Chain A
Amino acid sequence: MAGPAILPSRGLQALVDALLARGYRVLGPQVRDGAVVLADLTDIDALPLGVGDEQAPGHYRLREGGAERAFGFAATAQSPKSVLFPPDELLWRGRRTDDGFSVEPASPADDPDHRPVAILGARGCDVAAIAVQDRVLLGREHVDAHYAARRAGAFLVAVTCSDPAGTCFCASVGTGPRPRAGSDLVLTELADPHRYLVEAGTPAGQALLGALDTTPATPDDLAAADELVADATARMGRTMRTDDLPELLNASAESPRWAAIAERCLACTNCTAVCPTCFCTGVQDVGDLTGALDERHRVWDSCFSQPYSYIHGGAVRTWTASRYRQWLTHKLATWTEQFGTSGCVGCGRCITWCPAGIDLTAEVATIRELAEAHDAVAAGAPGGAPTDGGAPTPGGLR
């Protein structure tokens, strides 16, 4: 495989054109309604040139960014999940017949306008999240046929993050700011002069790169990219310790912290909607008035909703505390047992888009402190929290 190359500033248009010419629907970051989101892209002048973002718990705002940068913001507000695993997917169409009904499978590929997508500007967290969804939806006993159809032809052009947000912690979980394996091409935007370092991650990426007008990258180009990565890593807004998480959270099922979080959590389901790895869905039937037609849809669902756990007689998780516990424990602990990978890629979206500003990195740290204090008391260690009052007791959910 040929080495890293330099694509001149305007060469990015040639990259987009090459993707369009190969039949891709190209999606790239653009400003819509005050946020950077993925949208159809044909002209690189539509990229958010000079736009940056400011993110904090429950807070998102665009600001002026580096004048020359087309990618001077953190991850897009909504992740590529909304493209590869859309909120509403038609599974099949049924029709009542004289002697029963017939079912016609539906596939995204049936749409005459369907084209494989090329996603320009996916971040390290996004690329890692797609790998997680591949594992969950394609790598197990049963395969999600609709995700498979959308994912099969997708082309990923990832971009190294130069300007992480205050809610980002990809460096802690090892998914960024330089995108790891999984993308077809990785771009790193360099300044003075404005240019892109391009690296191919797959044969398809290599083939596309070969068709572009590039020059080989020099050691100076590579050093500039390394410096950008080091600088971005240092400016990462948050950190999360991960080595003890499955053990810690499984042992903290009765932590008093869940009830405390539930006092703030609105169970609004925002966090699960923006999370690039959350995959829970429900089915919905859409019929016509005569009952002759029935469409079955797969729609995003959330463990924060009460009906999610409904069985005859009532929901299993009636308290917000048990639903938050389910979400966090699944994401950071049982995910690892189920899929061999954490469910969190450190994108920070759930922190930014939580109306209550609940921050999972802070919650994990608090749960850890409480568990340690509890252990200290149990061990009778000097300096631990006193046994009467103050000390966390099991049964926090009761």
Chain B
Amino acid sequence: MTAPLLDRTGTAAAARDHAHRDAASDPMLPRPFRVISRHLDTRDTVTLGLEPLDGVPLAFAAGQFTMLLAFGVGEVPISISGDPTGPGPLLHTIRDVGSVTHALVGAVPGTVMGVRGPYGTGWEVRSGRGGDVVVVAGGIGLAPLRPALLELAHERAAYGRVVLLYGARSPEDVLFAEDLARWAARHRITVEVTVDYGPPDWTGRVGLVTDLVPRAGFDPGHALALVCGPEVMMRAVATALVARGVAPERVRLSMERNMQCGVGLCGHCQLRELFLCLDGPVLGYDRLGPLMDIREL
């Protein structure tokens, strides 16, 4: 059971090595970053742009996360939602669900936050070149997938069909609406949005994102699937993708667990032999499926 994991080579590992050198010897020390922009995405979700006080930009791979510190409140894992292919501020899209995220979401430009990382494995989008890519997101799960979509858009010609299936609670909760429109109009990405609850004037789809998988336009034999959302949703989507013929190792999920350190020392994120902060959060369904089948593992 000690097969090499996806993350040992490639961009995620390279970015992590970089973080390594910068963080001197103590991985628990945060680097100060200043909030330079704050964009209200939905009623409870905000995208913050951060700039390092020391001027050294933070290189990352799509799918990686950082440990974000609200001074005096606490520190939580948050995925990077910005563009991995270019410069620009470090973006995080955060949903207000509790004490730390509330403080992060409420931070006004000028606020200084602590950042550790980037940590974890990435989506390894480039391994999908030459084939179709299907991206499936549920709720805030679109945030960790945004860098992957930007990477796909950036090198669009290298891929076959690209499909984004996105489920939100309601039309009001749809994230990155401008991006969705741009990806569809300019980058030939098929964007299908569905909501759990639609008001009378909603003309779009209502229902589970899982239900979009069987009819989506991609060739399962040559597809890479990237999935992020609540665990029950990811399991259902992965099952539907595999049923359509996508190889389990070509279905990648981003797993969520309690993380106190982000560097494999605190123990909280373990899923059997995996430390999801180091071996994940992004892992293939071939590896995750059997573990997700066991309740409360």
Contacts and interface: CB of A to CB of B under 8 A. Distances in A.
B268 A141 contact: no
Contacts of A319: 296
Given A96-B71, A312-B98, A279 B267 contact: yes
B56 interface: no
Contacts of A281: 260-261, 265-267
A99 B112 contact: yes
Contacts of B225: none
A309 B268 contact: yes
Contact of B71 (A99, A282, A294, A330): A294
Contacts of B97: 312
A40 interface: no
Could you say which interface size class chain A belongs to? Answer: 35 or more
Given A101-B71, A294-B71, A309-B258, A316 B296 contact: yes
25 contacts: A91-B29, A99-B112, A100-B71, A101-B71, A101-B114, A103-B29, A103-B32, A103-B114, A105-B26, A140-B264, A141-B20, A142-B264, A143-B25, A250-B272, A279-B265, A281-B261, A281-B267, A283-B28, A283-B266, A285-B73, A287-B72, A309-B268, A318-B296, A330-B270, A337-B2
Interface residues of B, number: 45
Interface in B261-297: 261, 263-268, 270, 272-273, 275, 278, 294-297
Interface of A: 91-92, 94, 96, 99-103, 105, 137, 140-146, 148, 250, 253-254, 279-283, 285, 287, 291, 294, 296, 298, 301, 303, 308-313, 316-319, 322, 326, 329-330, 334, 337-338, 397-398
A311 B256 contact: yes
B89 interface: no
B260 A338 contact: no
Given A141-B263, A283-B75, A312-B98, A92 B28 contact: yes
Given A100-B112, A311-B257, A322-B295, 19 more contacts: A94-B72, A96-B72, A101-B114, A141-B20, A141-B263, A145-B25, A145-B27, A253-B297, A281-B261, A283-B75, A283-B260, A285-B72, A294-B71, A296-B28, A303-B267, A316-B257, A316-B296, A397-B295, A398-B295
B34 interface: yes
A142 B27 contact: yes
B13 to A, nearest CB: 10
Interface of B: 1-2, 16, 20, 25-30, 32, 34, 53, 71-75, 97-98, 110-112, 114, 230, 256-258, 260-261, 263-268, 270, 272-273, 275, 278, 294-297
